[in-house]
């Protein structure tokens, strides 16, 4: 629970204030205009770890605007995604449903056309809806602005952020019109462009971007979000604005001046992993970590240190844009009636356990920052309850005075953090699931799922996780498992799944996974009554 102000005293103060305001004047109910539903500004980053916000305990990273937002928000210290990979995670955010229910399990694959997403629900309720940046959720190919609109957005300025999707990118089209260096790819590094490389000084960040900061997709996403805010604030309808940044997702290019912010920092890097230690992990994890022509598990320390510097710098760049967005929200007069959500779709291993990226159940991948702000209604503070990111959708619906969808698996956080009625039933466990190893068939990778054969020798690659206060149990079909004692082993280094002394714990947690899989979708499978 948050500190230093208790929820009870906050709500009592709110009630006193509400009563005092009601006593001023004696307007009849007929004379009073109904209050407008709150707006929703949903800011999402891609692949940002929970611990990469200064307010969340990081003494190195520079995130002053996110820190200010955290101080004004319900800031959740233990929020977990329902799938540690982009598309399934975002589908869970926007449906309030577990991945095995919405069935969008693999990147760059379409969502079920019967699935109703959050922007469509809000548009149906009278909201203006807009998307700026990365969506990654489509009913149809190609991933274009027109197809993004079919998911529930009125206004779309799209950028899914890869070379393969640039033909449909509004950012790429904009940059081609405005950037004098338009012929240089926006992910290019300065050291790889001859005229720039010739002028680089020793000690320059090797991940310095080849393009100027004003033409990066991070700055573009911030600029276009502010433009959308100003436009939507002019209309009487409430709005839902989804501002979605590509970064700090790899590759790690970062523009001047952010590229040098952390040059003097020597990071405490993950311990080096050997092939021998990786081969002690469950086989699906081995396949994931060792994929590709040159797995990075033994990356040299200097290169990894520069990656950390650049990853942190990208977050500081985003932080500046978040500050500018929130300032524009204030200038439009909408800050007091806008729910601000800040979250990331999943984290990044940054070579912990020998892996770059995500797709695993280690804390660095499944635990994310989550903040919700609504002045006067949401009580600021740090909340240490276990929460799932599927809880965001029902929370927003309830705060907006809208019914929570019957097929939603999440629990509204409003009774915990806000002035809504009802009791909050805290979770004693959270769940996640993923296809391990990941289906990935672009570039040099060929990890195709073959029906009847699986992926690279893993016949059943669908893995499940349950995490309680103390324990994390990861179940892989075909006899693989992980059990970590988070109390005594917070870095998840010692797998106890085969320890006879922990057999009872394994049995209990395996049973919880089974119960979860059976009960989570009961509203999908059990009809309320006969039709005749």
Distance (Å) of CA 454 to CA 121, 435, 436, 451, 509:
36, 10, 10, 6, 25
Q: How confident is the prediction for the chain on average, in pLDDT?
A: 93
**Cα–Cα distances in angstroms (integers) from residue 254 to residues 86, 226, 273, 314, in the given order:** 21, 22, 27, 6
User: 172-182: per-residue pLDDT in tens?
Assistant: 999 999 999 99
Stretch 236-242: mean pLDDT, rounded? 97
Over residues 444-465, the mean pLDDT reads 94
CB 399 within 8 A of CB 374: yes
pLDDT in tens, 245-274: 999 999 999 999 999 999 999 999 999 999
pLDDT tens across 105-122, in order?
999 999 999 999 999 999
CB 218, CB 174: distance < 8 Å = no
Is the dihedral angle over the CA atoms 355, 272, 248, 77 positive or is it negative? positive
Domain span at 349: 39-427
Secondary structure of 504-526 in HEC code, one letter for each residue: HHHHHHHHHHHHHHHHCCHHHHC
Band of pLDDT at residue 45, cut at 50, 70 and 90: very high
Q: pLDDT per residue over 62-86, tens digit each?
A: 999 999 999 999 999 999 999 999 9
pLDDT of residue 314: 98
pLDDT at 200: 97
Peptide bond before residue 207 is cis, with ω within 30 degrees of 0: no
The structure tokens listed for 169 are 């990118």
> So what's the pLDDT on residue 293?
87
| Residue 176, both tokens | 């081609």
Q: Which two tokens stand for residue 76?
A: 């959740």
Number of domains in the chain: 1
Note whether 253 and 207 are within 8 A (CB): yes
Does residue 455 sit within a domain?
Answer: no
The answer to the question of residue 81 being in a domain is: yes
The pTM (predicted TM-score) of the whole model is: 0.92
- pLDDT tens-place string over residues 376-385: 999 999 999 9
372: in domain: yes
Domain contains 43: yes
Output the domain CATH number for residue 241.
Answer: 3.40.720.10
Q: 327 in a domain, yes or no?
A: yes
Does residue 163 lie in a domain region?
yes
The pLDDT score that the predictor gives to residue 35 is 58
Average pLDDT for 489-497: 97
Nearest to 270 by CA among 236, 310, 304, 233: 304
Helix then strand then coil, % of the chain, to nearest 5: 35, 15, 45
In whole angstroms, what is the distance from residue 222 CA to residue 324 CA?
8
Helix (H) or strand (E) holding 206: none
Q: Look at residue 440 in the predicted model and tell me its pLDDT.
A: 92
User: Is 482 part of any domain?
Assistant: no
pLDDT of 211 above 60: yes
Kindly report the number of other CB atoms within 10 A of residue 125's CB atom: 16
Q: Does an H or E element contain 200, and which?
A: none
Q: Considering the domain boundaries, does residue 281 fall inside one?
A: yes
């Amino acid at each position: 629970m948050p500190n230093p102000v208790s929820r009870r005293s906050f709500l009592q103060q709110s009630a006193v204030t509400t009563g005092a305001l009601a006593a001023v004047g004696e307007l009849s109910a007929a004379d009073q205009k109904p209050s407008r539903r709150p707006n929703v500004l949903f800011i999402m980053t891609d692949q940002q770890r929970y611990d990469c916000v200064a307010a969340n305990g990081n003494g190195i990273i520079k995130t002053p605007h996110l820190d200010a937002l955290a101080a004004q928000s319900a800031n959740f210290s233990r929020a977990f995604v329902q799938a540690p990979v982009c598309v399934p995670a975002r589908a869970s955010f926007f449906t309030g449903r577990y991945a095995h229910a919405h069935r969008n399990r693999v990147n760059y694959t379409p969502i079920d056309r019967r699935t109703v997403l959050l922007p469509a629900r809000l548009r149906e309720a009278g909201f203006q809806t807009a998307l700026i940046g990365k969506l990654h959720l489509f009913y149809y190919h190609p991933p274009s602005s027109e197809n993004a609109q079919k998911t529930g957005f009125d206004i779309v300025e799209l950028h899914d952020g890869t070379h393969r999707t640039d033909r449909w990118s509004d950012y790429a089209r904009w940059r081609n019109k405005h950037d004098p260096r338009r012929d240089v790819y926006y992910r290019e590094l300065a050291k790889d462009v001859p005229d720039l490389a010739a002028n680089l000084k020793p000690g320059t960040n090797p991940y310095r971007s080849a393009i100027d900061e004003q033409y990066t997709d991070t700055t573009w996403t911030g600029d276009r979000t502010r433009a959308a805010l100003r436009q939507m604030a002019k209309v009487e309808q409430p709005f839902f604005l989804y501002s979605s940044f590509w970064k700090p997702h790899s590759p790690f290019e970062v523009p001047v001046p952010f590229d040098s912010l952390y040059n003097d920092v020597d990071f405490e890097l993950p311990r080096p992993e050997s092939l021998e230690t990786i081969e002690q992990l469950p086989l699906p994890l081995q396949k994931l970590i060792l994929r590709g022509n040159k797995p990075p598990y033994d990356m040299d320390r200097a290169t990894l240190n520069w990656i950390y510097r650049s990853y942190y710098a990208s977050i500081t760049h985003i932080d500046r844009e978040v500050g500018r967005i929130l300032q524009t929200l204030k200038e439009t007069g909408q800050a007091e009636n806008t729910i601000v959500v800040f979250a990331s779709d999943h984290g990044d291993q940054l070579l912990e356990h020998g892996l770059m990226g995500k797709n695993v159940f280690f804390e660095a991948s499944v635990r994310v920052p989550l903040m919700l702000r609504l002045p006067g209604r949401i009580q600021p503070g740090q909340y240490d309850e276990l929460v799932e990111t599927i809880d965001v959708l029902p929370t927003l619906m309830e705060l907006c005075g809208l019914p929570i969808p019957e097929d939603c698996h999440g629990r509204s956080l409003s009774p915990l953090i806000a002035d809504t009625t009802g009791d909050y039933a805290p979770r004693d466990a959270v769940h996640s699931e993923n296809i391990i190893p990941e289906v990935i068939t672009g570039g040099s990778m060929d990890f195709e799922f073959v029906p009847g054969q699986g992926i690279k020798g893993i016949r059943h690659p669908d893995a499940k996780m349950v995490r309680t206060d103390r324990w994390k149990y990861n179940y892989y079909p075909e006899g693989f498992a992980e059990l970590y004692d988070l109390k005594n082993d917070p870095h998840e280094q010692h797998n106890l799944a085969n320890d006879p002394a922990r057999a009872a714990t394994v049995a209990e947690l395996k049973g919880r996974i089974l119960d979860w899989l059976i009960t989570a979708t009961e509203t999908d499978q059990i009809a309320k009554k006969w039709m005749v």
